Amino acid sequence: MKKVFIIGLDGGPYKEVKEWIESGELPFLSKLANEGAFGRLKSIIPPYTMLAWPVICTGKNPAKIGPFLYKAKKRGYNPDFFSSSQFINSTDIKTWSIWEWASHFGRKVGVVNIPMSYPPTKVNGFQITGFFTPKSSDNFTYPPELKEELKGYRIDIELTQGMGLADRKVNKEKLHRDLIELLNERTEWVIKLLQEYPTDLFIMNFKEVDNIMHFFWDRKEIVLDYFKMADSSIQKIYNIAKPDYLMIISDHGFSNAPTKFYHINQYLEDRGFLKRAENIKGRLSNFIYKFGVIVVKRLRFLKVIFPEKFKIKIARESIKDKIDWKKTKAYAHWYAGIYFNPEYYPDEESKKKGAEELKELLLRATDPENGNDIFLFANTKWELFKGPYFDEMPDVVYTTTNDYRLNTNLPGKLIDEKFIRPDLTGHHLGALDGIIFLWGKNIKSGSRIDASILDVFPTACTLGELPIPEDVDGRILKEALIDGTYKEEFTNIPYTEKETQFLSEEEDKVVKEHLKDLGYL
């Protein structure tokens, strides 16, 4: 039985990290790369934290996991799904997570700060939930009594506490200090927990690495200094726990923040897929949106009078009542993709044909101002997904190029200057290239690999001498392993699904406000 540690540097970008380890700026990670394996870890389309981490932790494509990004009591092509859905949580992951799998085989596990892990699950060890945990919840640990040992523990930063609200310039100096403190705090808590609760499989994520890049991507010296601190944190954790194998990963890469909004539902309307409602909201939506943008952009004094929440509300006025749902063929649901109206696409053949048509249209979409491509990738669900939840997948998924961020409003024009959140200088809309390090006795020294986030689960199982679920989509990264030192073993063990839990209205509101603070919404 081997001890395996998986540590996430959330958003760690392949290009920059490769340069830093080659130049010796990150001494411990450089050591891991020289003595073990290093490479590119390809993310999912679209490359978002809330989609990528469930894939990492299960080794399966989304159609084998559960609902795609969002959930609601009414799903798919439905105005209520569009307007009232919540993000998924751990109860929507309808298959084995790596910590549940290891627990099943009697291994001691530790789980810290993994996104989408709330509410916590019963494990043979301990768990502290991560990103998407409502800040008001006291149900963030397993066992429940563990939280009594975590006085002062923080899951994430709070921009609304002294940082400056989103309608004012964020106090970057204070934010920077707080992110450094959070990294150090999490490192100290992890060391304390590992000393008290020895583990065979440990998985954690430094989400604050993603935060530093969202706000300081234009200051690469700050980003590098933060990675140096994270490098030191990983070494401290290793020195305390001495695992047999280390895996350092990221869920996606990073790039410059987008500078423009692209109104995807406007594009669908212009191409005849979406029909605007013949009511007051439908007719006035152009005016409401444009007026809101003009007010925010031109009347600068109103930026102080009106909070950012008000401006975002203008820009994102719900389009539920602006669409004629019976006459609309397809609509886009925020990040989640495009859904077809079954009245126009009644069978599999018509859906496939429609999805291919729409995919090609998206790939040909350009900015009318400069001719630049809008979409980096567009795929039909038949190209990417396979599993019991296939019908819940969007019919077309996509990710934009770095310059554009999608908006689902209907303003009457395709492109808008991105007028909110100038404090956010980095994002990962088109950044699929994350990082992976493998280190340990049976890893080939100096090997370089190209992998997928699907491969983390089966490779970790192999290193930890655990069998692998037969239905994983990922592969063992054999090219990084010394021949004859590992065993491939697959098994099929039925999974008992958790009952889906919805957040309260207040909890959902708090989570979404936090996501807005961090630039996700």
Give the C-alpha distances (Å, rounded to integers) separating 119 from 134, 155, 197. 10, 13, 21
How confident is the model at residue 517, as a pLDDT? 72
Domain ranges of the chain: 4-60+95-256+428-495, 260-417
Which residues have C-beta within 8 Å of that of residue 366, sequence separation ≥ 6? 372, 373, 374
What's the CA gap between 502 and 246, in Å, rounded?
Answer: 35
How confident is the model at residue 305, as a pLDDT? 46
Pair of tokens at residue 482: 């010394």
Kindly state the average pLDDT of the residues 137-166: 81
How confident is the model at residue 321, as a pLDDT? 84
How confident is the model at residue 141, as a pLDDT? 98
> pLDDT tens digits for 327-365?
999 999 877 799 999 999 999 999 999 999 999 999 999
How confident is the model at residue 282, as a pLDDT? 52
pLDDT-above-90 percentage for the chain = 72
Contact 69, 335 (CB under 8 A): yes
What's the CA gap between 266 and 270, in Å, rounded?
Answer: 6
281 band by pLDDT with thresholds 50, 70 and 90: low
How confident is the model at residue 166, as a pLDDT? 46
320 band by pLDDT with thresholds 50, 70 and 90: confident
How confident is the model at residue 412, as a pLDDT? 86
> pLDDT tens digits for 53-103?
999 999 999 999 998 887 776 677 877 776 667 888 999 999 999 999 999
167 band by pLDDT with thresholds 50, 70 and 90: very low
Angle, helices 456-463/49-58, rounded to nearest 10 degrees = 30
Strand, coil or helix: what is 165? coil
For the chain, the average pLDDT equals 89
Contact 33, 27 (CB under 8 A): no
> pLDDT tens digits for 169-179?
678 999 999 99
CB atoms within 10 A of CB 89: 23
pLDDT value at 312 more than 60? no
Question: Lowest-confidence range among 85-99, 273-287, 505-519?
Answer: 273-287
- Check residue 499 and report its DSSP letter: P
CB atoms within 10 A of CB 304: 9
Kindly state the average pLDDT of the residues 145-154: 95
Polymer length in residues for the chain: 521
How confident is the model at residue 303, as a pLDDT? 47
pLDDT value at 187 more than 90? yes
- Per residue, the 3-state secondary structure of 432-472, as one string, reads CEEEEEEEECCECCCEEEEEEHHHHHHHHHHHCCCCEECCC
How confident is the model at residue 519, as a pLDDT? 67
> pLDDT tens digits for 199-241?
999 999 999 999 999 999 999 999 999 999 999 999 999 999 9
Among 90-94, 306-310, 412-416, the range of highest mean pLDDT: 90-94
> pLDDT tens digits for 450-502?
999 999 999 999 999 999 999 999 999 999 999 999 999 999 999 998 888 88
What's the CA gap between 254 and 376, in Å, rounded?
Answer: 14
Amino acid identity, residue 467?
Answer: P
Between 458 and 317, the more confident residue is: 458
What's the CA gap between 147 and 64, in Å, rounded?
Answer: 32
Fold topology of 260-417: Gyrase A; domain 2 (3.30.1360)
How confident is the model at residue 137, as a pLDDT? 87
Between 163 and 262, the more confident residue is: 262
Quick check: do 4-60+95-256+428-495 and 260-417 share a fold? no
Report domain 4-60+95-256+428-495's class. Answer: alpha beta
How confident is the model at residue 284, as a pLDDT? 53
> pLDDT tens digits for 9-65?
999 999 999 999 999 999 999 999 999 999 999 999 999 999 999 999 999 999 999
Amino acid identity, residue 80?
Answer: D
